Chains A and B, each alone.
Chain A
Amino acid sequence: MDEEFRLHIELETEQNLRAGMDPREARRRALLAFGGVERHKEEMRDGCGARWLEDLARDLRHAARGLARTPGFTLVAVLTIAVGVGATTVVYGLVNAILLEPLAVPAAERLFALDELRWGAVWQGIEGRGVPYARYVRYREATEGVFTGLAAHRRTMFSLRARGETMAARGVMTSGNYFAVLGLQPEAGSFYTEDDEPSAVIAYHLWRDRFGSDPDVLGSVVHIDGQPFTIVGVAPRAFTGTLHGLPADVWVPVVAARRASGLESMAAWLAMFGRLRPGVEPRAASAFVDGTAKQIPPDEPQTRVRGARLEPLSGMARGGSRDEARTGLTLLFGTALLVLLIASANIAGMLIARGVARRREIGIRLAIGAGRGRLVRQLMTEHALLALIGGAGGVVLAALGARAISASPLLGPQELVLDLGLDLRVLGFALAVTVATSLLSGLYPALQAARPALVPALKDAGPADARARSLFVAGQLAMAVVLLVLAGNFVRAFQRTLALDLGYDPHGIVIATTDLGPLGYDDVRGRAFYERLVERVRAIPGVTAVALAGAPLLGGGALINDVRAAGGDEARHEWGVLQNHVDPEFFATLRLPLVAGRGFTEADRDGAPHVAIVNQTLARRLWPEEDPLGKVIHTYGGEAVVVGVVRDGRYSLRYGAPGPFAFFPFAQRYSGSMTLHVRHDDGTHVGTLIRRIREEVEALDPNVAVQRAEPLSAPVTQMLGPMEFATGLLGLFGAIGIALAGVGVYGVLAFQVARRSREFGIRIALGAPPRAVVRHVVSRWTVLAGISAAAGIALGLVASRLLERALHIHGLGAFEPATFAGVAAVLAAVGVAASYAPVRRAVRVDPVEVMRVE
């Protein structure tokens, strides 16, 4: 380009020389005739499209200069964006790790869980409804046309004895084709292939941590629930099972595992999943298995199969807990988005104000011919730069938040292990959020600022800006109030749960569960084992009382069965009553107060008349008008005479009021799995006590593992954990939201006062008292804030109601005057704090000075 122009000028010069001009004049004329070299160049570059690049560079330079010139604005804006982006990104990280993360298997999208829908079945664990092994085999044969393979699995706890040590291992009983259907290759060794072979596959982390990655482990024999299994392989490092956050340690073939335990019938309740054959549509396959399910005759006469359906096999637990996790995470995500929206509104407000402050500058540029699109682009560039810096800050905040969450025990059960690293997807999300925020908050102000109304622009801010800002701030306030109401309701619900009267004293008690069932104990040997165990544990220093129960007291009972009053009519029939079987020490150890009759004694043994103790609710329901003592009930195991009534207590933390409950003597109802309830004195260290209990169990039988040992109150903590987490996060979001809204209110008021300072000055000069000025500044605001607050409270209440149902958190949606008073108080405080400075400025306007400004 340069060369071409130079030539042109040279030739022109030569021509002028020939015409008789002197050299200097000749060149001058040539240059004059040619015109501005740079301008021509620019026009030509316009033509080849390089201009936008150059413009961008210039815009960026300009933007950076502009931002550096107003460090206060820049800092507040960047922080605001960082908080909004950080909040959403952190929650998205959770969603990503729990809901979105695909299974670490090839082509996971072709894997589908097969759920049989049946009437009369009990919900079986977290992997969904299951079917007995024999039924699984029929499904496997019948679905060969649609699946390359149909696998079955079930999580369980094993006693794993290897190299002289017994540990409780998180196990999975699987069909032989499990790994083949998943499409995995072993990290080392090989996978088993038969349903019935005494082989085991161990998880990579177990291999590394417990066996020091020793290759000789392959081929060695370990004892699982007392039976020998050969370790044949190590699962790939990335694969820890089919549930996120609940890793497995060991996999064994289901039939071999159940044969070892001698409990063939317990092989029931396997969950199934299959890999679709290439070309088979999920919908067609689902219809096919639905038909198949109805053709396979039911395994039990009382069961009715309604059909079956396919659902993508994700890493999420299925059933109720998944729905709760989903709702909970959706809630958190929604609130994080609210924070982001509030932050965006703030940024928009700040940008409008900035646009107004720069209106003169922009007006001048418009006047000398800058294109409106060009100006919008430049303002947007400045804003995008701001957003990118803020977004980067948000990612840093999110990383810090993710680390804090990973380290906190609040997320759920202790065994939950989540990888909250910021992967590409999370970073991509953060970028998308940043860009969206930037567009959302920047476009309107930029368009507004570059409005080509030159004359008013050169004079003053238009009323449209004030209106727009008012709307932004009103929306912000409403959203912040929604957050506050939710947070307040969660806090109240949380307090209520904390203050829960369990009906007994859960403190100072450690529980430890062992299961003799899979080890081949019969009831005689089992009772003897537990008798000796109780004796030994009672002898541990610091232990004051020991009792046995079929299930931890807070575990919701060992059994659910119908209870019917003997000789009673249909009305005296309670469906699905929780039941537990306990030894004579139980009520005293747990300090469960009996309100009538007696507790169990040594005399209530096998052979003696069967007895039961009911709680007040069950007594009232079965015999509303009569004395329950001496009445006979029918339930699991036959008839029993009611000998005592225990005070109502909470045996499950999930639902509202305590329901009917019945206790039976261990001596008259046996189960291999029992839970020790050990009361200790205050000076005893819980960890030490648990270790001593493990030692006593091992001394009695080295193959028995203690599956669960923790304070009795641990389930309370566990249930409260996610709730506390959600409450904490909501509280944090609420605080951020209201703080941002406060900044927004401050901004609008300050802006208004600055805009109308002349008017105020005149008013004061004319003798208006300060009160009138104050009223002028805040009156419209009070009304607007009131409307926003009312709308926010209504929305928050509706949301709480919906969440109460979805999350089973009792009383979440209750209308609590205290909460709303609190919200109103916070709102008022924020309003006063935000308006204090602007109002003071308005009152102190010096009329003389204001008049002089122009």
Chain B
Amino acid sequence: MSLRAQTDALRGSIDLLILKTLSLGPMHGWGISQRIQQASEGVLELNQGSLYPALQRLEKEGLITSAWGVTENNRRARYYKITAAGRRVLGEEIESWRRFAAALEMVMRTT
């Protein structure tokens, strides 16, 4: 796999993780990273350096929106929410991810 494709795959998987997390409900940046970390039982630790640029990019692509809100203990935070387009993309991405993962799995098994 070339360097470029690898980066694309990683970037794609970050997007996938963010969209998946937000599909459960609006969340601020820290919350997203926590949720992903918890859900993967600590295996996936999202680098903040990729989290915020990714959020910005997804917002630019119209897959998520953001608005300032207040946290449970009354602090201002920027909440991200998945859009309809985001859900559609998420569906497709999950589908293709599953295919990809299954293919990988198959290759692993045969060799």
B48 touches A7 (CB 8 A): no
Q: Of B49, B57, B76, B77, which contacts A39 at CB under 8 A?
A: B49
* Cβ < 8 Å to B, chain A residues 1-50: 3-5, 7-8, 10-12, 15, 33-36, 39-40, 43-44, 46-48
Compute how far the CA of A3 lies from the CA of B78 in the bound complex, rounded to whole angstroms.
9
The distance from the CB of A30 to the nearest CB of chain B, in whole angstroms, is: 10
B25 contacts the other chain (CB 8 A): no
Compute how far the CA of A4 lies from the CA of B78 in the bound complex, rounded to whole angstroms.
6
A7-B76, A35-B49 as given contacts; A47 in contact with B30, CB under 8 Å: no
Chain B residues within 8 Å of A39, by CB = 49
B49 touches A4 (CB 8 A): no
Chain A's closest residue to B47 (CB) is A35
A3-B76, A47-B60 as given contacts; A8 in contact with B48, CB under 8 Å: yes
A4 touches B29 (CB 8 A): yes
Chain B's closest residue to A48 (CB) is B56
A4-B29, A8-B30, A8-B48 as given contacts; A44 in contact with B77, CB under 8 Å: no
Chain A residues within 8 Å of B53, by CB = 40, 43-44, 46-47
A7-B28, A7-B77 as given contacts; A47 in contact with B57, CB under 8 Å: yes
The distance from the CB of A711 to the nearest CB of chain B, in whole angstroms, is: 79
B100 contacts the other chain (CB 8 A): no
Compute how far the CA of A34 lies from the CA of B28 in the bound complex, rounded to whole angstroms.
15
A8-B30, A11-B30, A47-B60 as given contacts; A40 in contact with B77, CB under 8 Å: no
B109 contacts the other chain (CB 8 A): no
B4 contacts the other chain (CB 8 A): no
Proximity string of chain B (28-68) to chain A, C-beta cutoff 8 Å, 1 when within and 0 when not: 11110110000000000001110011001100100000000
Chain B's closest residue to A7 (CB) is B77
Chain B's closest residue to A41 (CB) is B52
Compute how far the CA of A34 lies from the CA of B52 in the bound complex, rounded to whole angstroms.
11
Q: Of B28, B52, B57, B76, which contacts A40 at CB under 8 A?
A: B52
The distance from the CB of A784 to the nearest CB of chain B, in whole angstroms, is: 46
Compute how far the CA of A4 lies from the CA of B52 in the bound complex, rounded to whole angstroms.
9
A33 touches B49 (CB 8 A): no
A33-B48, A43-B49 as given contacts; A8 in contact with B56, CB under 8 Å: no
The distance from the CB of A47 to the nearest CB of chain B, in whole angstroms, is: 5
Q: Of B34, B47, B77, which contacts A4 at CB under 8 A?
A: B77
B75 contacts the other chain (CB 8 A): yes
Compute how far the CA of A455 lies from the CA of B63 in the bound complex, rounded to whole angstroms.
46
Compute how far the CA of A10 lies from the CA of B75 in the bound complex, rounded to whole angstroms.
10
Chain A's closest residue to B56 (CB) is A47
Chain B residues within 8 Å of A10, by CB = 75
Chain A residues within 8 Å of B48, by CB = 8, 33-35, 40
Chain A residues within 8 Å of B31, by CB = 11
Chain B residues within 8 Å of A3, by CB = 76, 78
A8 touches B29 (CB 8 A): yes
The distance from the CB of B61 to the nearest CB of chain A, in whole angstroms, is: 11
* Cβ < 8 Å to B, chain A residues 389-447: none
A35-B48, A39-B49 as given contacts; A7 in contact with B56, CB under 8 Å: no
A12-B30, A35-B47, A47-B57 as given contacts; A7 in contact with B52, CB under 8 Å: no
Listed residue (B30, B34, B76, B77) with the most chain A CB atoms within 10 angstroms of its CB: B30
Chain B residues within 8 Å of A43, by CB = 49, 52-53
Compute how far the CA of A48 lies from the CA of B48 in the bound complex, rounded to whole angstroms.
18
Chain B's closest residue to A3 (CB) is B76
Chain B residues within 8 Å of A33, by CB = 48
The distance from the CB of A672 to the nearest CB of chain B, in whole angstroms, is: 86
Chain B residues within 8 Å of A36, by CB = 49
The distance from the CB of B62 to the nearest CB of chain A, in whole angstroms, is: 14
Compute how far the CA of A4 lies from the CA of B57 in the bound complex, rounded to whole angstroms.
16
Compute how far the CA of A40 lies from the CA of B76 in the bound complex, rounded to whole angstroms.
20
Compute how far the CA of A15 lies from the CA of B73 in the bound complex, rounded to whole angstroms.
14
B30 touches A44 (CB 8 A): no
Chain B's closest residue to A5 (CB) is B52
The distance from the CB of A15 to the nearest CB of chain B, in whole angstroms, is: 8
The distance from the CB of B1 to the nearest CB of chain A, in whole angstroms, is: 23
* Cβ < 8 Å to A, chain B residues 68-93: 71, 75-78
Listed residue (A7, A8, A40) with the most chain B CB atoms within 10 angstroms of its CB: A8
Q: Of B30, B33, B49, which contacts A7 at CB under 8 A?
A: B30
Chain A residues within 8 Å of B75, by CB = 7, 10
Chain B's closest residue to A47 (CB) is B56
Chain B's closest residue to A9 (CB) is B30
B56 touches A44 (CB 8 A): yes
Chain B residues within 8 Å of A4, by CB = 28-29, 52, 77-78
Compute how far the CA of A228 lies from the CA of B52 in the bound complex, rounded to whole angstroms.
90
Chain A's closest residue to B76 (CB) is A3
Chain A's closest residue to B29 (CB) is A8
Proximity string of chain B (5-47) to chain A, C-beta cutoff 8 Å, 1 when within and 0 when not: 0000000000000000000000011110110000000000001
The distance from the CB of A3 to the nearest CB of chain B, in whole angstroms, is: 7
Compute how far the CA of A5 lies from the CA of B29 in the bound complex, rounded to whole angstroms.
9
The distance from the CB of A831 to the nearest CB of chain B, in whole angstroms, is: 54
Chain B's closest residue to A39 (CB) is B49
Chain B residues within 8 Å of A34, by CB = 48
Compute how far the CA of A5 lies from the CA of B49 in the bound complex, rounded to whole angstroms.
11
Compute how far the CA of A3 lies from the CA of B53 in the bound complex, rounded to whole angstroms.
15
Chain B's closest residue to A36 (CB) is B49
Chain B residues within 8 Å of A5, by CB = 52
The distance from the CB of A255 to the nearest CB of chain B, in whole angstroms, is: 76
Chain A residues within 8 Å of B60, by CB = 47
Chain B residues within 8 Å of A40, by CB = 48-49, 52-53
Compute how far the CA of A460 lies from the CA of B8 in the bound complex, rounded to whole angstroms.
39
Compute how far the CA of A43 lies from the CA of B56 in the bound complex, rounded to whole angstroms.
10
Compute how far the CA of A811 lies from the CA of B52 in the bound complex, rounded to whole angstroms.
78
Compute how far the CA of A151 lies from the CA of B47 in the bound complex, rounded to whole angstroms.
81
The distance from the CB of B109 to the nearest CB of chain A, in whole angstroms, is: 37
A44 touches B28 (CB 8 A): no
Chain B residues within 8 Å of A8, by CB = 29-30, 33, 48
The distance from the CB of A208 to the nearest CB of chain B, in whole angstroms, is: 64
Chain A's closest residue to B54 (CB) is A47
Chain B residues within 8 Å of A12, by CB = 30
Compute how far the CA of A1 lies from the CA of B48 in the bound complex, rounded to whole angstroms.
13
Compute how far the CA of A8 lies from the CA of B34 in the bound complex, rounded to whole angstroms.
11
The distance from the CB of B59 to the nearest CB of chain A, in whole angstroms, is: 10
Compute how far the CA of A588 lies from the CA of B108 in the bound complex, rounded to whole angstroms.
121
Compute how far the CA of A48 lies from the CA of B56 in the bound complex, rounded to whole angstroms.
8
The distance from the CB of B32 to the nearest CB of chain A, in whole angstroms, is: 10
The distance from the CB of B10 to the nearest CB of chain A, in whole angstroms, is: 15
Compute how far the CA of A40 lies from the CA of B47 in the bound complex, rounded to whole angstroms.
11
Chain B's closest residue to A11 (CB) is B30
Chain A's closest residue to B75 (CB) is A7
A44 touches B52 (CB 8 A): yes
Chain A's closest residue to B28 (CB) is A7
Chain B residues within 8 Å of A11, by CB = 30-31
Proximity string of chain A (37-80) to chain B, C-beta cutoff 8 Å, 1 when within and 0 when not: 00110011011100000000000000000000000000000000
Chain B residues within 8 Å of A48, by CB = 56
Chain A residues within 8 Å of B47, by CB = 35
The distance from the CB of A147 to the nearest CB of chain B, in whole angstroms, is: 59
The distance from the CB of B83 to the nearest CB of chain A, in whole angstroms, is: 18
Compute how far the CA of A44 lies from the CA of B47 in the bound complex, rounded to whole angstroms.
14
Chain A's closest residue to B32 (CB) is A8
The distance from the CB of B31 to the nearest CB of chain A, in whole angstroms, is: 8
The distance from the CB of B70 to the nearest CB of chain A, in whole angstroms, is: 11
Compute how far the CA of A528 lies from the CA of B79 in the bound complex, rounded to whole angstroms.
109
19 A-B residue contacts at CB 8 Å?
A4-B28, A4-B52, A5-B52, A7-B71, A7-B75, A7-B77, A7-B78, A8-B33, A10-B75, A11-B31, A15-B34, A33-B48, A34-B48, A35-B49, A36-B49, A43-B53, A44-B52, A47-B56, A48-B56
A4-B28, A4-B52, A11-B31 known; 18 new pairs, CB 8 Å cut-off, are A4-B78, A7-B30, A7-B71, A7-B77, A8-B29, A11-B30, A33-B48, A34-B48, A35-B48, A35-B49, A40-B48, A40-B49, A40-B53, A43-B52, A43-B53, A44-B53, A47-B56, A47-B57
Binding site for A on B (CB under 8 A): 28-31, 33-34, 47-49, 52-53, 56-57, 60, 71, 75-78
